[in-house]
Amino acid sequence: MAAIGVIDYGMGNLHSLGKALERVSGAGRVVISYDPEELLKCDRLVLPGVGGVRECMKELQRLELNQLVVEAARSKPMLGICLGMQVMLEWSDENGGVPALGLFPGRVQRFPDPPEDAATRLKVPHMGWNRVRQERAHPIWTGVPDEAWFYFVHSYHAAPTQPEHVLGSAEYGYRFAAAIARDNIVAFQFHPEKSQNLGMMLLANFTHWSP
Amino acid sequence: MLAKRIIPCLDIDRGRVVKGVKFQDVQDAGDPVEVARKYDMQGADELVFLDITASVDDRPTLFQTVEAVAREIYIPLTVGGGVRNCADVRALLSAGADKVSINTSAVDNPDFVSEAGERYGVQCIVVAIDAKRVSKKKEAPRWEVFTHGGRRPTGLDAIEWARTIVQKGAGELLVTSIDRDGTKGGYDNELLQAISAAVSVPVIASGGVGTLEHLYEGLTDGGADAVLAASIFHQGTYTVGQAKQYLADHGVLVRS
C-alpha cells in the first residue's frame, strides 16, 4: 500500500499535518517518523517544520535525515512546508547564517523590519491569510484558483536564484516566492494544513502526483 | 497583500462552549465541534478557545475538545487559559492547537515565554495582555497590565510590557481592554494603536465589540491586524460572513 512519510525531526507540531494527510490520502498510509529506514520505505515524503533553521539543520544531521532527504529528493515526490521549504535552499540568513540542503539554488532572507515612522508598517512575522499567484502551471495547482488565499506564518522567505523554480508568489511589501518546484519536488511557504479546503486540495494533489 | 483576520472566540467550560459575561450568568452554547464548524463555514480566519475553567484543572477534557476540533477544522486554532509551563504548551500543541495564548504566567515568569518560543517557535506563542486605563482625565493615556481575569494589578505599564514580552519572544499579542470588555462599546482603539506602534508583531484586538463598525474601527483607528469577538457571533447578531462583507464594503482587505 502506498505510504506518505512525514519526516519528524522534532521541529514543530505535526498533528494538523498528519490529520490533514490522513484525510486526503484515501487508502494511503501516513507514516510520521524519524527513522530513516521507515521513511525510505515510503513512496513520497513530506518535510515540514517550524522554528529556527540552525536547530532544524542540527536535528536533521543528528538523526541522519539530511542525506536521506537529499537522496530521496532525486526520485521520490517530495513536499516541503514552511521551514521545510526554507531548508531546501542553499543557505539561510537566519540564526546568523546557516548552510542548508541545497536542493534549490538561492538563499533565505528576512523580511525587513518596518521603519519606525512608516505610514503603513508591515509586521514581521508575516502572519495570516495572503493570496498566492500561480506563476506557472503545475499538477499541484489542479482545482485551485489563481490568487487563492493561504495561511502564512514566517519571518524569513526563500529567494531562489532560478526564476523557473518559482511556482507561486505572494505580495508582502514586495513579491516573494510562496511556492517553489523542480522535477519531483514541490514546496510551500504557507501551511496547506491550516488553509481550509484549498489547502486540503493541495495536499490531495500531492498524494496523487506522479512527476 | 495580507488580509485582516476575523477571529471568533469560544469560551470552553468542561468540554462545552459557554456564553456569559465574565463568569456571570454562564449558559451552554453548544458542542465545540459544531460551533467551530459553523464559524469555519462562515469564513472565520482562525479560532480561539479560552478555557475558562483552567483553575478547576479539568485539562483532560480540554485536550479531548481540542483534539476533536482539530480533527475537523483546518484553520489555525489558538488555545488559552491556565498555560503555565512548557509541558502545558507541548500538551496543547500535541492535542492539535496551532498556537497557545499565555497570560498570567508570562507576567509571573517572562522567561517562560522565551523558553516556549525557542522550543516551539515564536509563531505559536501568543501573549495575552489585559489592560486597564489608569491615567486621569487630561493626562496622557496610560494603561496598566492586570492578570487573573482582570482582578490583579501588576504595576506594569501596558506599552512597556508589550515591548518587553515581544523581545522575550511573543509572536503575537492579544490585547484586551478590561474597561471595554463586555460593554459592547467598541475596542479601546487608543490602547491598540499605542501597542501596535510599539511592537513589530501582529496585534489582535479584543474586548468591547458590539457592532460591525467596532470591528472596522479596531482595524483602522486601532491599527490591529486581527479582531477577536465573542458575543456578536455567539448571540447570532452577525455572522462572520456579514462582518467580512461589511469590512470589504468599507475598503478593508479580508479573505473572501
Q: Give the number of beta-carbon pairs within 8 Å between A and B.
A: 96
Cβ–Cβ of B122/A131 closer than 8 Å? no
pLDDT on residue A116: 60
Over the stretch A155-175, which tens digit does the pLDDT of each residue have?
999 999 999 999 999 999 999
> What does the pLDDT average to over A110-136?
83
The CATH class for the domain spanning B5-250 reads alpha beta
Cβ–Cβ of B76/A194 closer than 8 Å? yes
Average confidence score pLDDT of chain A: 92
Which long-range CB contacts under 8 A does B162-167 form with residues at least 24 apart? B162/B129, B162/B195, B162/B198, B162/B199, B163/B198, B163/B199, B164/B110, B165/B106, B165/B110, B165/B113, B165/B127, B165/B129, B166/B199, B166/B200, B166/B201
List the single residue in B3, B95, B226 with the smallest CB-CB distance to A130: B3
pTM for this model (two decimals): 0.94
Cβ–Cβ of A123/B123 closer than 8 Å? no
Interface check B221 vs A, CB under 8 A? no
Q: Which residues of A touch B120 (CB under 8 A)?
A: 12-13, 50-51
pLDDT on residue B81: 87
Q: Which of A47-61, B33-47, B56-70 has the lowest mean pLDDT?
A: B56-70
Cβ–Cβ of B1/A124 closer than 8 Å? no
Cβ–Cβ of A199/B74 closer than 8 Å? yes
Which of B200, B228, B247, B254 to mutate against chain A (most A CBs within 10 Å)?
B200
Which residues touch B108 (CB under 8 Å, ≥6 apart)?
Answer: B147
Q: What's the rounded Cα separation, in Å, for the pair B76 and B124?
A: 10
Cβ–Cβ of B96/A15 closer than 8 Å? yes
Q: What's the rounded Cα separation, in Å, for the pair B73 and A194?
A: 8
Interface check A12 vs B, CB under 8 A? yes
Confidence of residue B24 (pLDDT cuts 50, 70, 90): low
Nearest residue to A153 (alpha-carbon basis) of B114, B82, B120, B48:
B120
Task: Please say if B45 is a catalytic residue.
Answer: no
List the single residue in A11, A129, A196 with the smallest CB-CB distance to B74: A196
Distance from CA of A88 to the nearest CA of B (A): 19
Q: Please state the domain extents for chain B.
A: 5-250
The CATH class for the domain spanning A3-208 reads alpha beta
ipTM of the complex: 0.92
Over the stretch B207-244, which tens digit does the pLDDT of each residue have?
999 999 999 999 999 999 999 998 899 888 999 999 99
Task: Please say if A193 is a catalytic residue.
Answer: yes
In the set B13, B40, B45, B130, the catalytic residue is B130
Task: Report B:183-212 residues touching A (Cβ under 8 A).
Answer: 197, 200-202
Q: Which of A30-44, A46-60, B42-56 reaches the highest mean pLDDT?
A: A30-44
Cβ–Cβ of A194/B71 closer than 8 Å? no
Q: What's the rounded Cα separation, in Å, for the pair B33 and B16?
A: 9
Interface check A130 vs B, CB under 8 A? yes
Distance from CA of A150 to the nearest CA of B (A): 9
Over the stretch A47-64, which tens digit does the pLDDT of each residue have?
998 878 888 999 999 999
Cβ–Cβ of B123/A125 closer than 8 Å? yes
Cβ–Cβ of A16/B98 closer than 8 Å? yes
Interface check A13 vs B, CB under 8 A? yes
Of residues A56 and A135, more confidently modeled: A135
pLDDT on residue B239: 96
Distance from CA of B30 to the nearest CA of A (A): 22
In the set A42, A56, A82, A157, the catalytic residue is A82
Q: Please state the domain extents for chain A.
A: 3-208
Q: Hunting for cell 509541558 — which residue is that?
A: B87
Alpha-helical runs (H) found in chain A: 15-24, 36-40, 53-62, 66-72, 83-86, 196-208
Over the stretch B95-153, which tens digit does the pLDDT of each residue have?
889 999 999 999 999 999 999 988 888 889 999 999 999 999 899 999 999 998 788 99
